[in-house]
C-alpha cells in the first residue's frame, strides 16, 4: 500500500500506516496533555512562528476549524487555500504547487478527492504534508477516535470495535489504527462495499503484532455482539451523491445503528461517528443524541489530536 513517498529528512501523515505504534502512543499522550493544558487556560506556544497552509478541494467544517484554531492556540498561523482559488484551478501542477509552498510554509494540510494528489504533494514538498482527508484515508479522524476511546475506556489494547456500513476512507484508516493499538475490529459491510483486500491484509498483519483481531463480514449483529465501541459513517461520501438511490436500498435499514444494535454491544458501549451525520440513515436520533454517544467529544478531539500531530511533524514537542 502506498501512503507516504518521502525522504527520511521529514515526516508526513498520509495514512495511519505512516505511524508506528510508538508514534501513535506518543501523539495521543501529547494530545491528552495539550487538551488538559487548554482546559486549564495554559496553551503553550509550541508553534510560534510556524505557518500551516491548508488546501481544500472538498468542503469542511471540523477539519478547517480544528486546524485553524489549533494553530492559533499554539501561537502559529493557518492560511486557507481553496483549490478553486489558487493556481491549481488554472492548471498549475501539484508538483509545482508543492515546491512553491515549501518556500513559504512550515507544513501543508490537504483535503482532497484523489489520494494520489496528497501523495504528490508529499513527494515534492520539502515540508511535512498532512492528509486532511482523501478518498482512501482519514488519519486525523482516526487519531481523534483513538484519543476518544482512550478517554472513555481508559485503555485501547483489548477493546473490541464494531464498524457498521461502508468500507470507506474512515474504515480503512480505522482498521489500521485499531490494529496498531491492539483493538480488535469487526467490520460489517454490504457485499461490494468492503475495504480493499490490500488494506484488510495490511491491518491483519499489523494486528498480529499487537494481538488485535481484524474480521470482515456482512452481518451487523455478529459484529456488534459484545463490542465496546460501535462506529459508523455516512453511507454516501462526498463526491458519491449520485449513488444514493442504489446505496439507500443496500444500507438501510440493515446497516443502520439503532437501539437494537446497541443492545447487542456491552452495556457500557459507546457510539462514535466522524460527522456529519444523517439521522434516520446510518444512525437513529435516539442513538447519536443518546447517553452512549460520544460524538461531540470525538469532534472536539480533532482539535487536540491535530495539535499533537502538528507538533510531532514539525518537531516542536
273 half-sphere exposure, CB direction, 13 A CA radius? 28
Return the number of other C-beta atoms located less than 10 Å from residue 310's C-beta: 27
Identify whether 304 is a catalytic site residue.
Answer: no
Q: Which of 62, 138, 247, 304 is catalytic?
A: 138
Please answer whether residues 144 and 272 qualify as being in contact, where contact means their C-beta atoms are separated by less than 8 angstroms: no
Identify whether 233 is a catalytic site residue.
Answer: yes
Q: Of 152, 143, 185, 148, which Cα lies nearest the Cα of 167? A: 185
Identify whether 274 is a catalytic site residue.
Answer: yes
91: phi > 0 → left, psi -120 to 50 → alpha, else beta; which?
left
Output DSSP code: residue 228. S
Please answer whether residues 149 and 156 qualify as being in contact, where contact means their C-beta atoms are separated by less than 8 angstroms: yes
Identify whether 204 is a catalytic site residue.
Answer: no
Q: What's the distance, Cα to Cα, between the start and end of the chain in Å?
A: 29
Identify whether 111 is a catalytic site residue.
Answer: yes
Identify whether 135 is a catalytic site residue.
Answer: no
Q: Which of 18, 233, 273, 311 is catalytic?
A: 233
Q: Which of 302, 304, 306, 311 is catalytic?
A: 302
SS3 content of the chain, % helix, strand, coil (to 5): 45, 15, 40
Q: Of 317, 302, 314, 316, which Cα lies nearest the Cα of 11? A: 314
Q: Which of 11, 111, 273, 304 is catalytic?
A: 111
Residues labelled as active-site residues: 111, 138, 141, 233, 274, 302
Amino acid at each position: 500500500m502506498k501512503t507516504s513517498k518521502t525522504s527520511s529528512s521529514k515526516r508526513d501523515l498520509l495514512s495511519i500506516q505512516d505511524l508506528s505504534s510508538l508514534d501513535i502512543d506518543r501523539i495521543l499522550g501529547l494530545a491528552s496533555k495539550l487538551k488538559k493544558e487548554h482546559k486549564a487556560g495554559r496553551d503553550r506556544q509550541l508553534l510560534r512562528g510556524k505557518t500551516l497552509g491548508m488546501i481544500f478541494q472538498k468542503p469542511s467544517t471540523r477539519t478547517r476549524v480544528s486546524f485553524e484554531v489549533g494553530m492559533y492556540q499554539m501561537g502559529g498561523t493557518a492560511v486557507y487555500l481553496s483549490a478553486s482559488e489558487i493556481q491549481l484551478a488554472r492548471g498549475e501542477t501539484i508538483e509545482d504547487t508543492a515546491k512553491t509552498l515549501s518556500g513559504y510554509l512550515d507544513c501543508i494540510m490537504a483535503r482532497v478527492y484523489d489520494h494520489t494528489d496528497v501523495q504528490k504533494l508529499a513527494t515534492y514538498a520539502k515540508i511535512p504534508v498532512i492528509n486532511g482527508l482523501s478518498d482512501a484515508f482519514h488519519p486525523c479522524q482516526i487519531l481523534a477516535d483513538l484519543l476518544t476511546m482512550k478517554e472513555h475506556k481508559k485503555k485501547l489494547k483489548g477493546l473490541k470495535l464494531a464498524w457498521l456500513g461502508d468500507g470507506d476512507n474512515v474504515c480503512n484508516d480505522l482498521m489500521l489504527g485499531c490494529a496498531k493499538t491492539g483493538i480488535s475490529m469487526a467490520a460489517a459491510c454490504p457485499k461490494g462495499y468492503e475495504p480493499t483486500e490490500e488494506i484488510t491484509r495490511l491491518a491483519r498483519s499489523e494486528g498480529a503484532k499487537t494481538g488485535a483481531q481484524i474480521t470482515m463480514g456482512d452481518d451487523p449483529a455478529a459484529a456488534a455482539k459484545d463490542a465496546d465501541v460501535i462506529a459508523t459513517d455516512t453511507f454516501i461520501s462526498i463526491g458519491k451523491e449520485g449513488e444514493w438511490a442504489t446505496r439507500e436500498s443496500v444500507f438501510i435499514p440493515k446497516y443502520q445503528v439503532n437501539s437494537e444494535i446497541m443492545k447487542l454491544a456491552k452495556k457500557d458501549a459507546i457510539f462514535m461517528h466522524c460527522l456529519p451525520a444523517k439521522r434516520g440513515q446510518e444512525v437513529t436520533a435516539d442513538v447519536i443524541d443518546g447517553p452512549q454517544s460520544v460524538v461531540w467529544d470525538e469532534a472536539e478531539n480533532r482539535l487536540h489530536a491535530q495539535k499533537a500531530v502538528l507538533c510531532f511533524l514539525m518537531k516542536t514537542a
